[in-house]
Amino acid sequence: MNETRSTHRRGRISGRLAVVLCLALVVGLLPAAAFAVPSTVTDAKAMYINSATINMSPARAYKLDDGWIIGAAPSVTTSVYGPHVLSVYATWKSNSLGTTQTVMEIPFFVDDDVRPVAACNAGTSYVTSATITISATDNFSGSGVDSLFYRLDGGNIVQVIAPAGAAAAKAAIARLPIVAALAAPPLVTFDQKPPHADLGACGMCHELAGPGPEPTGTPLPGTRTFSVTGLGSHTVEYWANDVARNESVHGTKTFSIVAPAAVTLPTTLTIKTSSSSVKRYSYMTLSGVLGGGAPAGSAVRIIYRKAGSVVWNTFANRTASASGAWSYRFKLSGKGTYYFKATYAGASGFGPSTSGYVRVSTR
C-alpha cells in the first residue's frame, strides 16, 4: 500500500513540475507585448491552487478561455482545474494616426489539492452472497475522479478508471498544446468590437485558445459494483485518486456472508384402528397418514400405554409410503384397555408431529 501511495505522490509531483515547465516555456516564447501592454496591468501568476483570481486595470474587454465580455472588469475568477488562457483587450496607444489596440494573452494553470471522497455501501451481514458498490466524488470544479481502487481480504488491488476522470484528463491535456501555440495577436482598429464584427471573415486571428470545461456541479462520481461469495467474514479496502493525483482517505468495511436458514415444513400425523374392541389373540390393524410432504420411507413409531399407566412404550416401527400412508396388523394377547399413538421425529426440511390416540379393549 505504501508503494502505491509513494507512486501517486511521485506521479503528482512529476506531473505538476511538467505543467509548470510547460507553462514557463510558453511564457518564454510569447512576445513581451503579451505581458507588458503599458495600458493594462494584471497580477497574473503561472500557477494557482484550487481557484485563480486575476485583477486587471484597466480592461476594455476580456475573455477567459472562450467568450468575450465587453466592458471594464476589475478581476476574473475561475476554479476549474487545468490550463487556462485569459485574453485582455486593452488600449495600446493613441497618436495622430488614431488609436490602435492589442489583445494580451495570459496563460495560467489552476491546480487542485483537495482530496476526493471514497465511499462504500457494504452492510454488516449478507445471505449467500454480497453485492458491494464503491464510489468516489471530487470537489466542485475539481479535477474529477480519475481512478477507484479496492481489494478484498488483502488480495490483489483492483483499479477502475472512472469515466468522468478520463473525460476531465482529456480536456486538460487537449488544452495544453493550444496554450503552447499562442502567438502575438495582430493589432486591430479601435472601432472594431472584439474579437471582430466580421468574425467569419477574420477567421481565427483572435480565437487563439479553444473553449475549456465549465463547472456544472460536482463531477459525476466513479462507481464500481462487484459481488462477493464465500461464507464467513470479509474485509474490503477502498480509496480513490483524482486527475490531479490527490488520494482519498483509505476506508475499510468488514461484513459476513451466512448460509440461508433452513426451511422446515410442518407435518401432520393421523391414527385409526380397525376395531376398538377385540377378543384376545384376534388380529386388528392400526393405520394412518403422515402428511406435509415427508419423503417415502419416513419412519413412523407406534407407542402405547395400558389404562391406569402414564408411561408410553414403543410398540412398533413402520415406514410411510410415497403418499404418507402407514399401517400395522397385529394380535393382542392380554386383556385390558390400551391406548395407541403414532409419532414422527422429523427430518431435514420437515418438522416432527404426533397423532391423537385411539383406545382398544380386549376381552
Please give the pLDDT value at position 177.
Answer: 54
Mean pLDDT over the full length of the chain = 76
Please give the pLDDT value at position 334.
Answer: 83
Higher pLDDT, 298 or 244: 298
Alpha helices by DSSP H, 145-286: 163-180, 199-202
Please give the full DSSP string across 43-62, using - where no structure is assigned: ---SEEES-EEEEEES-SEE
If you average pLDDT over residues 102-125, what whole number do you get? 89
Residue 326 has pLDDT above 90, yes or no: yes
Summarised one tens digit per residue, pLDDT across range 246-278 is 999 999 999 999 999 888 999 999 999 999 999
Please give the pLDDT value at position 145.
Answer: 83
Please give the pLDDT value at position 62.
Answer: 81
Residue with cell 496591468: 41
d(CA 20, CA 107): 11
Question: Residue 117, class by beta-carbon neighbours within 10 Å (0-12 exposed, 13-18 middle, 19+ buried)?
Answer: middle
d(CA 95, CA 76): 30
Residue 25 has pLDDT above 70, yes or no: no
Q: Give the pTM.
A: 0.55
d(CA 120, CA 236): 9
Summarised one tens digit per residue, pLDDT across range 281-321 is 899 999 999 999 999 999 999 999 999 899 999 999 999 99
CB 210 within 8 A of CB 135: no
Residue 217 has pLDDT above 80, yes or no: no
Please give the pLDDT value at position 141.
Answer: 67
Residue 15 has pLDDT above 80, yes or no: no
Q: What is the CA radius of gyration of the chain?
A: 43
If you average pLDDT over residues 196-224, what whole number do you get? 42
Q: Which domains does the chain have, with CATH numbers?
A: 2-113+170-202 (no CATH), 117-163+218-258 (2.60.40.10), 268-362 (2.60.40.10)
